[in-house]
A = this chain, B = another copy of it.
């Protein structure tokens, strides 16, 4: 096993009705003024917003709102949130939504204690402090609820880039499976693809990968496949909903990368270009990229790709495993071809250019260049 440092201080409050205590949890961190970050107005129609606000009031916590966060969250919204938080004198941010909301909230939390341009944190500046971050997750996918990162799209420069920093771990994240039961069928299957992507990046790219970590990653992937199939039949199965949510958290809270080394995130690097240029839902982009990337990559690490086929699908060869994953994506209804996303011609060229720049900015190994990225996309037509 390779050496590592690990600390994950986030407190998880998992279960029914936990969101009704959010103000109580926040008051344990001396919260007085909070900016609430959310997406659509659905959280108001459902009554969730009122329940949260009631508990904030019970705990004498003042709040203002920053709604309208979209999938593939934008820098302009983050800047709006930073301005609001500064004007209000917020000491905390509360995200009510999925990963897009929480990633925005994290960037706002960092930007609110910084005089310069918040985008600096996405281009090299270290995050050293942030407002306290809290979250109520209405979608399971990103793992943002228990990690110290986020991803934001700069609409002007067409860059979809990450931010990291120890102070970006949420203080408390609420995961109530019931709040996630109203997720659309599309976003359920995109989420499944996203969690599998988080799982396989390290699994297939690491040069050192302990067997214990392999087993943990496979446990997560098996859980995603099993619970997604249950939820497509019965969206209200809260046990399956809970397991899917927890697999999502475990896939990117650091644990499944411990003791590994030499890994990278090529599928994410490529997909971010699709989201940045075409505003494709992240999970939908990933389910297109993954089978193509796996086909392109399999001969670099044939043992691990064969293992994947056997452990996840009970099959014998790397090719069979990749085909089985693609078939499974087709079966659940998340895209597997560029055609399904209407990406071709000049748009595809722009995506390839964008991904090529990502490869440089993310310091990917030299195998990723304009030609090889085009080769990978050619396998996804």
Chain B residues near A211 (CB-CB < 8 A): 223, 226, 243
Taking a contact as CB atoms under 8 Å apart, the answer to whether A243 and B11 are in contact is no
Nearest CB in chain B to that of A247: its residue: B212
Chain B residues near A250 (CB-CB < 8 A): 212
The answer to whether residues A215 and B222 also contact, given A1-B239, A11-B7, A15-B2 and a CB cut-off of 8 A, is yes
Contact residue among B14, B210, B247 (Cβ-Cβ distance under 8 Å from A3): B14
Chain B residues near A13 (CB-CB < 8 A): 5
Q: Does A258 contact B (CB under 8 A)?
A: yes
What's the tally of chain A residues with a CB closer than 8 Å to chain B? 38
Q: Whole-angstrom distance from the CB of A13 to the nearest CB of chain B? A: 5
Q: Whole-angstrom distance from the CB of A29 to the nearest CB of chain B? A: 13
Q: Does A219 contact B (CB under 8 A)?
A: yes
Contact residue among B8, B239, B259 (Cβ-Cβ distance under 8 Å from A243): B259
Alpha-carbon separation in the docked complex, A219 to B12 (Å): 23
Contact residue among B3, B12, B258 (Cβ-Cβ distance under 8 Å from A6): B12
Residues of chain A from 329 to 366 with CB closer than 8 A to chain B in the complex? none
Chain B residues near A10 (CB-CB < 8 A): 7
Q: Does A216 contact B (CB under 8 A)?
A: yes
- Of the candidates A9, A211, A220, the one having the most CB atoms from chain B within 10 angstroms of its own CB is A211
The answer to whether residues A14 and B4 also contact, given A216-B219, A239-B210 and a CB cut-off of 8 A, is yes
Alpha-carbon separation in the docked complex, A13 to B6 (Å): 7
Q: Whole-angstrom distance from the CB of A208 to the nearest CB of chain B? A: 9
The answer to whether residues A7 and B5 also contact, given A212-B247, A219-B215, A239-B210 and a CB cut-off of 8 A, is no
- Of the candidates A177, A218, A219, A222, the one having the most CB atoms from chain B within 10 angstroms of its own CB is A219
Q: Whole-angstrom distance from the CB of A7 to the nearest CB of chain B? A: 4
Q: Does A18 contact B (CB under 8 A)?
A: yes
The answer to whether residues A6 and B1 also contact, given A212-B219, A219-B219 and a CB cut-off of 8 A, is no
Contact residue among B9, B14, B18, B216 (Cβ-Cβ distance under 8 Å from A258): B14
The answer to whether residues A258 and B243 also contact, given A4-B12, A7-B9, A7-B10 and a CB cut-off of 8 A, is no
Chain B residues near A239 (CB-CB < 8 A): 1, 210
A-B contact pairs, 12 of them (CB 8 A): A1-B177, A1-B242, A3-B14, A3-B16, A4-B15, A6-B11, A7-B12, A8-B8, A215-B222, A216-B219, A219-B219, A242-B259
Interface residues in chain A, defined as those with a beta carbon under 8 Å from any beta carbon in chain B: 1-16, 18, 177, 210-212, 215-216, 218-220, 222-223, 226, 239, 242-243, 246-247, 250, 255, 258-259
